[in-house]
Amino acid sequence: MSKPSPISLISQELVDKIIDDLAESVEGVEFFRWHCLSRCSLVCQSFLPRSQYHIFRSIRIESEGDCGHEFTIKRCKELGRILTQSPHIATYVRELRLEIQPDDKMGLHETPIFMQAINRISQAHGPLDKLTLGDFRASQLRDPQGFLDAFTRPFISPFITSLHIQRIENAPIRMIQECVNLADLTLWDVDLECDSRPNPSRQYIPRPRLRSLTYRASPEAIKKLIGKGFTYHPIHLSTLRALTIYTDDIEDILYAQSIIRATNSLEELYLSTQGNIRVRHPPDYSRQHVSLEGHINLKKANLRILHANVVFGPSDDERLSGILSILKTVPTVNSLQSFSLSVYVGFATEVGPEGLLDADWETLAALIRKIACGKALAFQLLFHFFDCENTSRISEKQNRRMRMARSLCANQLHRLVGELLRMMDPAITLSTDINIVYHNARSSR
């Protein structure tokens, strides 16, 4: 009798934990994630169930436009085959990602094989948790009303808790408004159409009570969601706990205060920039610089967490002045426990790591000391530096330049930390990190 392999002696609980940790470590890197988990499923029989669980938690369906609709049908048939051969896989599906192409001549909701697969998933385990709609290319729904009636109303709106819409120019506002359990909403470069008809089968649909809202480059959509031009508010904002705003466009910032005023429960505020997005090349802040100064008042907010990104511009009023104006509005009696500040140096103007020190850090330290008021406060400072001189196509030279830039940044950050610690109370804990960015010349050929 053959001796069992060592891997077969590992308990199922430990196997599941290994695969869970692997899936978490590659989250957001789609192809690599699929590749790793697919390989795991082939290791041995005990690795298969948990690998399948993570592989099929999120299903992506691409509409291929008019010329490629046969390919879309082929993919949907393949999904149907998998669900027929292994019905238990349908119970794993929690997120549906629909990538809509700009030249669609036939919507996914008009594709019977797609609707059959969605119906099978729905019947197998009940509701989906999340819908991601859209792609990196701007597009429109071919038939918003049909998409609403045939797809979202029976399969999506009554169930999902999370909705992410990206680069769709005519998403029906009723799709959001009718998601009664919606808690998490993300809008990226989105506009909403308001012409779709109400659901004839339901006289009253309670509005969603959002707990988290993220938006970027979607001022018109936000304007409609907060009720501008309406006699009613399409969503409840009074329950909002977390708000993330991308501050690269002044139009997005202008609606931030309206949202903050509409909720008395906001606990987390994240003021982000394009630098937070996974992009191939460093963001170009030299063409446009937006200041936060005077736009956000936190007098009535009861925040626990505040995270702000600041892009250092060429003049004094384009550095810390915006975040200083915000911190001045935080009331003396507050619940703030964590303040994170990401500083981007060298992105809007060519400057060395020493540019970090060229700002009003003394006033910032005084405001942090005032906000802490003797209580414990975690202050995290993240130093992002764009090294515009690292342009070599030779890896060895790139790495050597990177090490030199990191050393220079560390020296400047060390000087700043020494000054800040002298100006702040002992109850304030200060942590730091450095991120060096450069143009990858080899990938830009």
Q: Residue 39 corresponds to which amino acid?
A: R
DSSP class of residue 26 equals: T
Share of the chain above pLDDT 90, in %: 48
How high is the pLDDT of residue 441?
Answer: 44
Q: Residue 145: pLDDT band by 50, 70, 90 thresholds?
A: very high
Paired strand residues for 271: 245, 308
How high is the pLDDT of residue 93?
Answer: 92
Q: What is the pLDDT of residues 155-185, one digit of tens each?
A: 999 999 999 999 999 999 999 999 999 999 9
What is the mean predicted confidence (pLDDT) over 416-444? Answer: 85
Work out the mean pLDDT of the chain and round it to a whole number: 87
Q: What is the pLDDT of residues 32-41, one digit of tens each?
A: 788 889 888 8
What is the mean predicted confidence (pLDDT) over 93-109? Answer: 85
pLDDT above 90 (res 360): yes
Rounded-to-integer distance, Cα 257 and Cα 296, Å: 6
Can you spell out the DSSP letters for 168-198? ES-EEHHHHHT-TT--EEEEES--EE--PPP
In 3-state terms, the chain is what percent helix, strand and coil (to 5)?
40, 20, 40
How high is the pLDDT of residue 165?
Answer: 98
Q: What is the DSSP pairing of strand 377-386 with strand 428-437? A: parallel
